[in-house]
Amino acid sequence: MTLTEHLPILIIILPLFAAVIMPLTGVVNRSLCWYFTVVVTFLVFLIALSLVCNVMEAGRISYWLGGWKPPWGIEYVVDKVSALVLLVVSFIAFAVAIYARRSVEKEIAKSKVPLFYSVYLLFITGSMGVTITGDIFNLYVFLEITSLSLYTLIAMGPKRRALIASFNYLILGTIAGTFVLIGVGYLYMVTGTLNMADLRVLLPELYGSSAVLTAFAFFTVGLSLKLALFPLHIWLPNAYSYAPSVVSAVVAATATKVSAYVLFRILFTVFTVEFDTSVVPVTYLLIFFSSVAIIMGSVIALSQTNIKRMLAYSSIGQIGYIVLGAALTNELALTGSIIHIFNHALMKGSLFLVVGIVVYKTGIDDISGFKGLGRKMPISMAAFTLGALSMIGAPLTVGFVSKWYLAIGAINAGMWFLVPVILVSSILTAVYFWRVVEKIYFHKADEVEEIVTEYEVDGAGCACKRFEAPLTMLIPTFVLSVLCILFGIAANIPAGIASSAAKMLLGGGG
Amino acid sequence: MNEHVIVQTISKILIPFIQLYALYVLAHGELGPGGGFQAGAIFGASIVLYVLAFGMKSAKLRFKSKVFDFLTSAGVFIFATVGVLCMIAGGAFLQYSSLPLPTKKLASGIGIYGIEIGVFITVTAVLVTIFFETAEQDDD
């Protein structure tokens, strides 16, 4: 077998190997860890990129683990949807890895830095695995790897509340994981197979069976909990706001997206669209809950004073968009949904990175701390504004593209009443982001400039005179926010991939 | 903790047998019930028994937590290395039969052993680490 044939497994093995070697690297030289992480995530990104190219040319790639034929062995599948998600996750992982150096130096104890990078890479391994696997039990395993490393990453947050946030997430995440496992168990019980493509073939005969219905219920609830759909979102705000800045960014940009991807897989690959709409009308439920999520996420975000919490609640609303597009089960809406996975990763990633910069430079994570920063950190604040515009859905930004697809999709589905939901939430988004943008550009800075915070022990940031963040932080942030504009203008590139992906999901391709 | 002569003596006699049994389970894994995970759990239990009988302090002298940290990674490393060796030999990841050995059967056997040893090391190390971490909370 040639190297290209091995790419689907290398994308998993590479970060796994690196994660295992990382603590040893830390013993040799602590500063090597960062370089090592950047190199590995870059390679993973390159692999993802070449996988996308291969898939667009040649179609579905299947890799048999251990050479075992699929229904019996574990199969890794790269198709248009998973290739896109792989690309998003690996790109964000790479950008955040570059950014991580200074932020991690400041927020995480020196002795824990190698472990941080190790767990970070393990998280990437898990996310990649969830995306690429075509085996439903393997999916559960990777989901748990992702979650377990995430609990650890969140618990490394600088405040003690991070431990509680992480523990709450651990409890709810474990419940969600168990639900998914029960679902897997029921499906295995009635079909005797764990391969997704095989399940799709075998399941239709058993759609009446109560075991299948139970499995489906467990999957839906478990995954909704994992991706923080509105009534099941309570773990998310604390987890996002107490995690280290780097972790907030990578989690907000990738973790819930990967869970959303899993939901797509269950809804459209393991089960069929007919099942979701006619046998069990779960799509109506999901439409209802995601609309509530869109509105409530924005409303609650409006009342937040902590910037990270505000972004966290805004994420809950955005997750609503992603689920809504899937629940409408028509091609345009699903395209919007898939493209929103990509777009939201870019914009939320850049927003959280800017917040990370502000926390790094000033130690404040309150909205009032943004007063007058437009003068002091023009580049990062420009990045924030671009991100905010995208979130609102201003034309020529990525946010507009996905909302456009969703709105058209809703009208095509005959659910015109969803269009006002999208509009109202856009207005609310504009309002809560405007509060911040106003502080940035139209308020004078407070007199007290450099506040020494509780975790600014080594005083790494205060010594320098220039107020703008270091380049390793600035470049990834700015690149992400520029991409928000770039892909808003050249929208046909991601939209092309997303729409063929949506076609494939709805048309029954595995 | 120093008074428990009976517990300590019996533990001293039992621990080697428990560990030997763990290795048996490991070696037997590919043919019968057992395997790396179970063997690791049994081996870890023998170390836990040592700590219970002789106390944390003497255990700390014998087992350095750094070593277990290293072993945790090492086990996964062995697992992944065997998988990659299969790839280098021309098969898929973890396709043991492609390993360059006289017969395919032997290659599969050796490959599975490699995997099981990796699992064994990691499970032992993780169990002991978890036990040490929770036990230490009370000592401080």
Per-residue confidence band for A498, with pLDDT thresholds at 50, 70 and 90? confident
Check residue A457 and give its pLDDT: 41
Residue B102 clears pLDDT 50, i.e. is over it: yes
Distances in Å between the Cα of A80 and the Cα atoms of A85, A220, A458, B122 are 9, 23, 47, 36
pLDDT value of position A460: 45
Predicted confidence at residue A223, as pLDDT, reads 93
Q: What is the pLDDT of residue A510?
A: 45
Q: For residues A444 and A238, which has the higher predicted lDDT (pLDDT)?
A: A238
Count the neighbouring beta carbons within 10 Å of the beta carbon of residue A203: 21
As a whole number, mean pLDDT of residues A494-498 equals 85
Q: Say yes or no to pLDDT of A451 above 80.
A: no
**Domain of A449, in residue numbers:** 3-507
The pLDDT of residue A508: 60
pLDDT, average across residues A457-469: 50
Residues in chain B with CB shorter than 8 Å from the CB of A17 are 77, 80, 84
Check whether A448 has a pLDDT greater than 70.
no
Neighbours of A186 (CB within 10 A): 21
Can you name the residues that pair with A61 across neighbouring β-strands? A78
Q: Are A165 and A242 in contact (CB under 8 A)?
A: yes
State whether residue A281 sits within 8 Å of chain B by CB: no
B chain contacts of residue A66, beta-carbon cutoff 8 Å: 86, 92-96
Whether B77 contacts chain A with CB within 8 A:
yes
On chain A, the residues whose CB falls within 8 A of the CB of B90 are 1
Is residue A287 pLDDT above 70, yes or no? Answer: yes
pLDDT digits (tens, 9 = 90+) for A464-490: 344 677 888 888 988 998 988 888 888
Note the pLDDT of residue A368.
Answer: 82
Tell me if A1 and B90 make a contact (CB, 8 A cut-off).
yes
Q: Hey, of A17, A20, A33, which one would you mutate to test binding to chain B, going by the most B CBs within 10 A of its CB? A: A20
pLDDT tens digit sequence for B12-23: 999 999 999 999
Q: What is the pLDDT of residues A195-252, one digit of tens each?
A: 998 998 888 888 888 999 999 999 999 999 998 888 888 899 989 989 998 999 999 9
Q: Which residues make Cβ contacts (< 8 Å) with residue B38, sequence separation at least 6?
A: B25, B29
- How does residue A506 score in pLDDT terms, banded at 50, 70 and 90? confident
Residues B93, B108: Cα–Cα separation, whole Å: 13
Highest mean pLDDT (candidates A158-162, B102-106, B122-126): B122-126
Please give the pLDDT value at position A454. Answer: 42
Q: What are the DSSP calls for A405-442, one per residue?
A: HHHHHHHHTT-TTHHHHHHHHHHHHHHHHHHHHHHHHH
Q: Is the pLDDT of residue A455 over 70?
A: no
CA distances from A361 to A107, A135, A156, A291, A369 (A): 12, 45, 19, 37, 11
Tens of pLDDT, residue by residue over A347-362, are 999 999 999 988 888 8
Is the Cα torsion angle A355, A360, A366, A372 positive or negative in sign? negative
For A9, the closest of B90, B93, B96 (CB atoms) is: B93
pLDDT of residue B137: 66
Segment A172-197, tens digit of pLDDT: 999 999 999 999 999 999 998 999 98
Identify the sign of the CA torsion B6, B8, B13, B18.
positive
Closest residue of chain A to B95, computed from CA coordinates: A66
CB A271 within 8 A of CB A371: no
Contacts of A3 in chain B (CB under 8 A): none
- Residue B1 C-alpha, separation from nearest chain A C-alpha, in angstroms: 33
> CB distance from A67 to chain B under 8 Å?
yes
Higher pLDDT, B122 or A69: B122
CB of A66 within 8 Å of any CB in chain B? yes
Q: What is the pLDDT of residue A461?
A: 45
**Each residue's pLDDT tens digit, B64-94:** 878 888 898 899 999 999 988 888 888 888 8
Helix then strand then coil, in percent of chain B rounded to 5, is: 80, 0, 20
pLDDT score recorded for residue A183 = 95
For chain B, the structural domain boundaries read 5-139
Kindly state the helix (H) or strand (E) to which residue A265 belongs, with its residue range: none
Does A72 touch chain B if contact means CB atoms closer than 8 Å?
no
Residue A324 confidence (pLDDT) = 92
Q: Are A122 and A20 in contact (CB under 8 A)?
A: no
pLDDT, tens only, A309-347: 999 999 999 999 999 999 988 889 999 999 999 999 999
Q: Which residues of A touch B84 (CB under 8 A)?
A: 13, 17
* Chain center to CA of A446: 35
Mean pLDDT value across residues A268-279: 85
| Highest mean pLDDT out of A88-102, A267-281, B46-60 | A88-102
Rounded mean pLDDT of chain A? 87
Q: What is the pLDDT of residue A185?
A: 95
Mean pLDDT throughout A109-120?
Answer: 89
**According to the model, what pLDDT value does residue B88 have?**
87
**Over residues A418-443, mean pLDDT:** 89
Domain total in chain A: 1
Cα of A145 to nearest chain B Cα, Å: 14
Helices B104-139 and B65-88, packing angle to 10 deg:
160
Residue B36 has a CB neighbour count (10 Å cut-off) of: 24
Nearest-CA neighbor of A391 among A431, A418, A357, A420? A431
Nearest to A17 among B80, B94, B98 (CB): B80
Mean pLDDT in chain B?
86
* CB atoms B97 and A23 under 8 Å: no
